[in-house]
Amino acid sequence: MKRFISAAFIAASLGAAASTPLYLDVNAPIEDRVEDALSRMTTAEKVALCHAEGKFASNGVPRLGIPELWMTDGPHGVRAEINWDNWGWAGWLNDSCTVFPALTALAATWNPELSALYGHNIGEEARYRDKDVLLGPGVNIYRTPLNGRNFEYMGEDPYLAGEMVVPYITELQKNGVAACVKHYALNNQERWRGHIDVHVSDRALHEIYLPAFKRAVIDGGTWSIMGAYNKYDGQHACHNEKLLLDILKGDWGFDGVVITDWGGAHDTREAALNGLDIEMGSYTNGLTTESAFSYDDYYLARPFLEMIQSGEVDEKYLDDKARRILRLIMRTSMNTSKPFGAMASPEHFAAVKTIGDEAIVLLKNAPLGKKKPALLPLSPEGSGKILVVGDNATRMLNLGGGSSELKAKKMVSPLEGLRRVYGDRILYTQGYAAGRPMYGQAEDIASEVTDSLRRVAVEMARDAETVILVGGLNKNSYQDCEGLDRLDYALPFGQPELIEALLAVNPRLVVVLLSGNAVEMPWISRVPAVLQAWYLGTMGGESIADVISGEVNPSGKLPFSFPVRLADNAAHAMGTISYPGDSIRQDYLEDIFVGYRWHDTKEIPALFPFGHGLSYTTFDYGKPTLSASSMPYDGSITVTVPVTNTGAREGKEIVQLYIGDPVSSLPRPLKELKHFSKISLAPGETRDVTFTITADDLRFYDPDRKEWIAEPGKFDVYVAASSADVRRKASFTLE
C-alpha cells in the first residue's frame, strides 16, 4: 500500500472545522506548519497522536488530512509486514528484504563510510516499504558477552559507536525515514529487562553509556529515540525524568520524538510529565504476547485525556508532545520531497557484500610448523578435498532472534559461498545439531544425535586436506536473541568437543564463528586459523568464502574484547549484584572500567583485545611526530605517524589512537580510544596518518561539578593496532 497526500485531499479533509486551509506550500517552514496544525486540533486529537493505533502504527489526524506514522523493526533489515493487531506475519508477497549485516559486524569495519552506505541503503528499503520510522540503530554498550542482544549494537567503546552511528543516521534520514536510536538507556542485558533497576554512577553514565546517544542527537540529528525497558534509579527509562527531560531534551536540545519500546510504558502521570511522546505496544511483552486491552486503554490514551480535562496535568505537556509528533510526521510521512526508495536491488546486495568483506575479523592465522606458511588464505587452486562442517554453514540466520527476524529475498550461506569458490572440492557434513529457533525455551538435542553427527564429521575429516568448521551461536533462545541472555560463555551444541575431535584427526582446521558475541575458546592454542564472521546477511557466504580464499584481504577489527574466561569480564568480576543483579536491582560496580578499560587498567589480558584483527599482509608504524610538546587548553596539537605496508599484497589497516592521563584527581583508565583511521596501502607504500587532539579528547566527567573537565599536566599518546598492541608512544603537556 502506498500513501499519496494531495493538496486537494488535505483541503477537503478540513471540512467545516477550519475556515482556512493548512499550509499547503511544502516550502513553508516546518515549524510554521506544525503550529498551524496544532492550532486546529482538539485536545482529544492531540492525545490520539500520543499512542498506537496498530502494532506498528500511531495515530494521525484524519479530520485534518494528517497521516499516521508507520514504523518497522530494523536492527539490520526492514521486517516483514506484521498483522495490524497481532504479532503474526501478514503474509504479504512483496515484503522480502535485503538482510544487512548485524550492527556488531558494521562496527567491526571501523569504517564510517560504510556506515553511511549502510544507512543509505537500508533507508531506501524502508522508504520503498512506505515506513516512516525505522526502529534502529542500536548503540547500547557491550557490557557482558551474555547479553542476548549485543549483536544489534556497536560494541563496547562509546567513541567507536558514536563515530559509526552518525553517518548511518544522516544517510538514512535523507530518505525521509526517521532513525529511532535505541535503547535509551542502560539496556545492557535482556534478563529481567522489563523491570531491572540499574544503578550506575553519574560518571559512568556520561562517559560510557550516553556518549553514542549524544552523538546521535547532536551530530546525527536523529528524529526519534526509543526508550529502554529497564529502570534507571527507580523510574522506567521510557518516562524517566533525568534521562528524558534533564539530559535528552534539556542538555542536548533534542527536538524529536521519544517512542517507547513495545510495552515500555507503565504509568500515565510519569509518561505525561517526564518526556515520553508516543506509547507503543502496551500490555504486551513487546515480542509475543497479546492482551485484551484496546488502544484507548493505553496510559497516554483515555487516562491521559482525563488527566488533561480534569486539570491534573497542564495541557502544555500535551502540546509539547503533539508539536514533536507533528514535526516528525512532516519530516517523514508528509515529506513530499523524499525519494521513492528501492527494495532488494542488486545495488543493495553489493553494499551488503562490501560491508561484509570489511567486517570479518581474522582472529588467528598461524603456520602448522616452522618455515611453513600460515594456513590462510586457502588457495582455490588445488585438488585436495575441503570438508565443511557445521550447522551454521547452511542455517538461515535471518530467522529467530526476536524483533530482528527478517524475511529474506536472498541469503547466500557459507556453504554456497565456499562451493562457488572451491567447486567440487567441497564436502559437507552437519557435525552438530542446533535445533529450531523457538522463543522462550532451549531445544534439547538428544545426545545420541550429537554423538552420531560428530562421528560422521570426524571420519570425513580424516581424509580431507583441510577442515572448515562453520559454527558459533545462532538466533535461538538463550543465544543471540531478544528477551533472553545466554546461559553461559561456552560454545553451544557440543561444539568444543567437536573441535577437539576434529583436531585429533586433522590439524588443518579453520574455525569460522558466526555470532554477535564473544565466546570461550579453550581450544584456541591448537586451532591454527579462526575467523569472527558475525551475522553478515544476504551476501554473507560470499564474503566468508572470499576472505578464506584470499580474494579479499581481511581488514575488520573487534569492536569489543573477548575475555579468556567470563570472570575476566568486568561486569562478572564484580559479583552477581553487578550481573545479572538480584532480579530487582543491579549495580554497575565496575563503573567506567568497561571492556578494554578493565583489561588494560587491571592488567587482565583479553583472549582477543578490543581493536584486534589480522591481515594477510603486515604493517609497520613509524615514529609519531607531535606538532608541539605542549597544548593550550583552548588549542590543539596534531599527531602524525607514517604507516607502511611491509607485506606482499594490498591491505587495509585501522590505525588507532588512544590517550592516557597518568595523573588525575579521579581514577581513569590506562588509555581510551579517541581517534582512528582506516587506510588502504599497496605493498611497500607508506602513508602519513594525522590525528588532531583537542581538549575534548582529554576530558573526563566530574560528578561533583557536573561538567566535563581536563586537568593540566602530562598526557600519553598511544598509536596502536589494537588496545593491547601499542606500536608507538609519545606524550605532551596540557597547559
- Concerning whether 261 is annotated as a catalytic residue, the answer is yes
Asked whether 164 and 156 are in contact (CB, 8 A), the reply is no
SS3 per residue for 449-469: HHHHHHHHHHHHHHCCCEEEE
CA atoms of 196 and 193, how far apart (whole Å): 6
> Using N-to-C axis directions, what is the helix angle for 540-549 and 414-422, rounded to 10°?
40
Q: What is the SS3 assignment for 542? A: helix
User: Residue 56: which residues within 8 A CB-CB, separation 6 or more?
Assistant: 70, 71, 72, 73, 82, 280
Output the nine-digit C-alpha cell for 92. Answer: 504479504
**Omega within 30 of 0 (cis) for the link into 380:** no
Check 95, 132, 197, 261 and give the catalytic one.
Answer: 261
Find, among 649, 655, 650, 100, the residue nearest to 355 by Cα: 100
Rg (CA), the chain: 26
The cell 599536566 sits on which residue?
713
CA atoms of 509 and 529, how far apart (whole Å): 7
Find, among 180, 168, 76, the residue nearest to 408 by Cα: 76
- DSSP code string of 71-122: EEE-SSSPPPPBPSSSSSB---SS--B--PPPHHHHHHHT-HHHHHHHHHHH
Sign of CA dihedral 670, 676, 160, 166: positive
Find, among 94, 92, 159, 103, the residue nearest to 125 by Cα: 94
Q: What is the SS3 assignment for 527? A: coil
The cell 493505553 sits on which residue?
298
Asked whether 654 and 718 are in contact (CB, 8 A), the reply is no
Catalytic positions, please? 261
